[in-house]
Amino acid sequence: MLMDTSRRKFMEYAAITASVVALPSSLWGSTARSKFDLPKENSADFWLELSRKAYHKNAEIISTMANQKPVLAVIKNNAYGLGDVEVAKILDTSVHIEGFALVKADRALALRKAGIKKNILLMGDFDESLGQDLVENDIVLSIFSAHALQKIKSLCNNSKKQISTALYIDTGLGRMGIPFNQAFELATAASGSLGLNIKYTFSTLTTPKDFAKEQIRIFNELIQELSREGVNVGKTHLAPSFSLIDLPSSHQDMVRPGILIHGSYPLANMDASKKWPLMPTYRLKSRVMRLEKLSAGDTIGFSRFYKVIKDEWIATLPIGWGDGYDSGAENGAKVLLNGALYPVINVNANHTNISLGANTMVKVGDIATLIGPEKPEITPEGFGKLVKRHNYLQINYKESIPKLIFDVF
Ligand SMILES: *Cc1c(COP(=O)(O)O)cnc(C)c1O
């Protein structure tokens, strides 16, 4: 028997408003507004859309780039602004993902509380008040100094569980990890500590190739010495995105990229980006909230930054640099609106202005894509090129920006 219309409507509505929203792929490349654009109750002025397919595809490509090694995904800084819990939930089912690495203890716990099953490596410090919670939630704790080892050992006294740890070695980055000349001694001390096991041994490579090679050499030497001593160092990893691409000898047991996961390369125009095209994983969208025709001689902004030379329509989007949109956008970025690209002319704390020219069909309420995969000018990397900035700009997106998860785009 067919469902009656109202019941079917209700079920469609319920599907759309489920907290993790699997929206149809028919929107891909389309700028037409449809009832599927947003769940009904989402009244956000601007929001992020994440693509499950793009994240899964990127994880697969990255593992292929690293000769099929597993990927420990770095999702520090709220997954570079895109939502650590959201991204981890998407990638928790990927066979290419070993686990997740981040820097803040409360975020490691938040991932576990959100149901993340894979390994979680805390690369930073933790407050003692969170110690037991971290142990109970199987968070891998980093030994990055003698003090850190003491702190972790004191947790063993209260724990029936083995505590998983990672030896974080400084081979020349110079800001985090056990200084190389103390590494052997601390590693053997950790290895001899009851109630504690070493799951990973890792370090971070710098970008200059000759120096990175030297880092790899001394790291490998340390691993060999420790193995000879009978220390089980666990799995090893060294490579952030740049080294993963630049130096195959950095791959070790697994690789540890951040930016590549989101479909951007660490630098613009890297050769590898042609060989291994990653998929931009997200869109940043906002609704037009004001539309006015300004006249020659008018100006925009506190500093009267933009001067209107010929009469033109100006759209205002309710997102600004206070929300994490890069203020450099006013120096050449474009947004996609009803199928066409328009220049960004001013970004302030809460608003962004777009120039639409002398005539326009755009209406208040129309949805602009500030970042997305649809055009080369608005991909994260394309945006970075236009504003002459690096590829990590989304890192400032505010945590409070709503996120919608799509299966495909
Ligand atoms: C941030 C970070 C990474 C990832 O860097 P990307 O350049 O984004 O790949 C890897 N390892 C450590 C220790 C980091 O802090």
Ligand 1: does its nearest atom lie under 6 Å from the Cβ of 124? no
- Say which residues have a Cβ less than 8 Å from residue 260's Cβ, sequence separation at least 6: 58, 62, 241, 244, 266, 278
CA dist 210 to 46, 110, 171, 217, Å?
Answer: 44, 39, 13, 11
Structure tokens that stand for 17 in this block: 């408003």
DSSP label of 399 = T
Cα of 82 from ligand 1 centre, angstroms: 15
Cα of 342 from ligand 1 centre, angstroms: 34
The tens-digit pLDDT sequence of the chain (409 residues) is: 344 444 444 333 333 333 344 444 433 333 334 434 555 556 789 999 999 999 999 999 999 999 999 999 999 999 999 999 999 999 999 999 999 999 999 999 999 999 999 999 999 999 999 999 999 999 999 999 999 999 999 998 888 889 999 999 999 999 999 999 999 999 999 999 999 999 999 999 999 999 999 999 999 999 999 999 999 999 999 999 999 999 999 999 999 999 999 999 999 999 999 999 999 999 999 999 999 999 999 999 888 989 999 999 999 999 999 999 999 999 999 999 999 999 999 999 999 999 999 999 999 999 999 999 999 999 999 999 999 999 999 999 999 999 999 999 9
β-strand partners of 406: 51
* Domain boundaries, given as residue ranges, for the chain: 5-30+281-389, 52-267
Q: Please report the sign of the dihedral spanned by the C-alpha atoms of residue 275, residue 277, residue 278, residue 284.
A: positive
Cα of 197 from ligand 1 centre, angstroms: 24
User: Which of 78, 80, 256, 392 gets mutated to test ligand 1 (max ligand atoms within 8 A of its CB)?
Assistant: 256
- Say which residues have a Cβ less than 8 Å from residue 160's Cβ, sequence separation at least 6: none
CATH entry, 5-30+281-389, from 3.30.1330.60, 3.40.50.620, 2.40.37.10, 2.30.40.10: 2.40.37.10
User: Which of 72, 74, 237 gets mutated to test ligand 1 (max ligand atoms within 8 A of its CB)?
Assistant: 74
Predicted model pTM: 0.90
Structure tokens that stand for 294 in this block: 């300004």
Structure tokens that stand for 392 in this block: 């990590």
CA dist 371 to 1, 135, 137, 219, 377, Å?
Answer: 45, 39, 36, 39, 9
Enumerate helices (H) and strands (E) in the chain, giving the number of each. Answer: 12, 19
CATH 3.60.150.10 fits 52-267, yes or no: no
Q: Which residues of 286-316 are buried (b: 16+ CB within 10 A; e: fewer)?
A: bbbeebeebeeebebeeeeebebeeebbbbb
